[in-house]
Chains A and B, each alone.
Chain A
Amino acid sequence: MTDSTPILELAGLTVRYGARTALEDVTLTVPGGAVGLLGPNGAGKSTLIKTLLGLLPAAAGRGKVLGVPLDGDMTTVRRRIGYMPEREAFFPGLTGFQATWYAGRLSGMPDADARRRAHEMLIFAGLEEARYRDVATYSTGMKQRVKLAQALVHDPDLVFLDEPTNGLDPKGRVEMLDLIRFIARERGIHVLLSSHLLRDVEEVCQRVLVVQGGRIVRNEEIRTLAHSQADAASVRIAGDPAAFRAACEARGLTVLEEKDRDLQVKLKGDGDTQPLFQAAVDSGVVLRSVRPVRVTLEEALMDVLGAAH
């Protein structure tokens, strides 16, 4: 794989659990970086990750992970992938250190390297003090951290994180997102972050894949999804809102929303704000502020999911 090789290339990928279709005709290309996998519970996010790991067979279609075909030798590509599962999963009877060392050994690391990296990753994940305790005695947050350490111990090129902030308190959540952001931005590790929490994805990722009903309904940069709406303005006035509304409508503008003295006004085709000022003069109100309307990721996502229904 070269640096320009997409981390994921899928074409018509379909996955079924018996008669139920979990993923249908998924076609996408993801260049790399930190990518969010967003969607409601049961949308097919975990199924997609498991299929990309080669844990679930595809019923139809094909795909490549880090340039390696899904129907090829997945053991080779798994050396370069880290995986943090959604549910509680650990090697029974081992301490945090032993479990992380073991994960490194299973990924093909020599014993000495696995030991050194296990210490480093547990310290990186914030488990320095607890690393010699049995994982079964860890709190939920500590289990999430040890899963992250295990996913990173062999220094993967791509890491799949399935709901990494599940069960974390607010402080733990912030710390976990900081760690993920760090490895993605400072260390250049590609991240596929699956979550149903918008904020998690928004804080870490540059790109988002939106999954709905087993289909990918959006695959684009977050900044284009959460965009400024050029043809609408958010206006704050001093004066009579009813008179301003009437003046706007007389000048061919549509008031989308009105809340006290805050209004959202749909502008004419080219986003010209001049009619707004004329409407203010006509109605005798003062414009305190005029700003473009921002569509948050949440609003954009609700639009996308609503449209997909």
Chain B
Amino acid sequence: MVIHDRSYSRWKGDRAAPVKGAAVVCEAGVKRGAATVFRRKIWAILLILVSFGPFVFFLGAILVRAYVIGNASQYQDAARFMSESDFGRLLVFSAEWVYSYMFTFGRVLVMVACVLIGAGLVAEDRRANALEMYLSRPITVRQYLLGKFGVMAFYLAIITVIPASILVFVQMSVSWSEPGEITRLLILLVRTMLSGAVLITIPALTILTASSLADRARNAAILWLGVVVMLEFVVSNILRDVFNADSFWLLQLGFNIAQVMNKLLANDVDLITTVPVWQSAAVLVVWVVVCVRLLHARVKPVEVVA
């Protein structure tokens, strides 16, 4: 039996069906990202353990507390301790925990994921002249960029907002007896998603832009780390010390993200600064606009050298 025609046969499929360009680019990018991570199995296992260790810890804490309180007749002292003490209350998954999980702990993973997966997203396509291949098909620059952004957003969501949201869900599932608690957790879930969107969008766009400015994943990673390190730890700190002005905090992307996330999570966190949140939000908006413009300028099917 001939499985495949050895000659050229015409395709009789639907030629008018809409092209889901961004979804196709995203799907292929996600698969390739997984292949990159799993190329060295030991590193992949370590990365997964590090990524989901805190999730398992929080999950355990929530379930143990719920179990002890649910079986108060058996564990009277422990149940009283869990429900009334400061430590017990600390184990309830709250906005502070969401922030700690996603930002304080998660940002290291975000940086690793950006370097490992994001750095090559556009750079490798430029290096292999694949942009010409993409854009000579029914794909627009916008769909291509959306697809690539989707790849990065997928991986960043897996290590930040998705586990945090699952923990809020789990907390909700063990709190059915308290209607007030359910309402609080539902609101927290929405806040988690909004703040997660900020945490994902800025690094994803930044690494995509760095990737579009380079022609190798390695160079893009160096560029991205250079920009982040310079802004986060050098320029901002030096200018702040020299001029003794809090407004130089705005040069730190991490600070701006933290400010906006805390506002969205309604966390009353003291960041030891007088910079208003709206200024941080404005800086992030400007950053997004600059990144999008740069991406549109760099992602072209044909390099025109006048």
Which A residues lie at the B interface, using CB under 8 A?
Answer: 17-20, 50, 53, 55-56, 75-76, 78-81, 83, 85, 87-94, 102-103, 105-110, 113, 116-117, 119-121, 123-124, 136, 150, 152, 154-155, 182-183, 186-187
Contact = CB atoms under 8 A, between A and B. Distances in A.
A113 to B, nearest CB: 5
B4 A155 contact: no
B19 A123 contact: no
Contacts of A88: 128-129
Contact of B129 (A83, A87, A93, A186): A87
Interface in B128-160: 128-130, 132-140
Nearest to A89: B129
A79 B9 contact: no
A55 B301 CA distance: 6
Contacts of B305: 17-18
B138 A106 contact: yes
Contact of A89 (B7, B14, B28, B130): B130
Contacts of A50: 301-302
A78 B6 contact: no
B145 to A, nearest CB: 14
B133 A55 contact: no
Contacts of A102: 24, 28
B13 A152 contact: no
Interface string B170-199: 000000000000000000000000000000
Given A92-B124, A106-B134, A55 B302 contact: yes
Contacts of A107: 19, 137-138
Contacts, number: 119
27 contacts: A17-B306, A18-B306, A50-B302, A55-B301, A75-B139, A79-B15, A79-B19, A79-B138, A80-B15, A85-B129, A89-B128, A91-B28, A91-B125, A91-B128, A91-B130, A91-B133, A92-B130, A106-B19, A106-B24, A106-B138, A106-B139, A107-B137, A107-B138, A108-B15, A113-B13, A123-B5, A182-B8
Interface residues of B, number: 41
Contacts of B106: none
Interface in B227-279: none
B133 A90 contact: yes
Contacts of B18: 108
Interface of B: 4-11, 13-15, 17-19, 21, 24-25, 28, 32, 35, 120, 124-125, 127-130, 132-140, 301-302, 304-306
Contacts of B306: 17-20
A103 B304 CA distance: 24
Nearest to A87: B129
A117 B138 CA distance: 18
A235 to B, nearest CB: 47
A76 B35 CA distance: 33
B11 A55 contact: no
Could you say which of A79, A93, A94, A116 has the most chain B C-beta atoms within 10 Å of its C-beta? A93
A93 B8 contact: no
Top 10 A-B residue pairs of the complex, sorted by shortest distance between their CB atoms: A18-B306, A155-B11, A89-B129, A108-B19, A75-B138, A55-B301, A92-B128, A83-B136, A92-B124, A106-B137
Contacts of A90: 128-130, 133
A53 B129 CA distance: 16
Contacts of A152: 8
Given A89-B128, A107-B137, A116 B302 contact: no
A106 B19 CA distance: 7
B138 A89 contact: no
Contacts of B10: 155, 187
Given A124-B7, A187-B10, A108 B17 contact: yes
Nearest to A80: B15
Contacts of B4: 116, 119-120, 123
Given A55-B135, A120-B5, A75 B140 contact: yes
A196 B26 CA distance: 38
Contacts of B6: 123-124
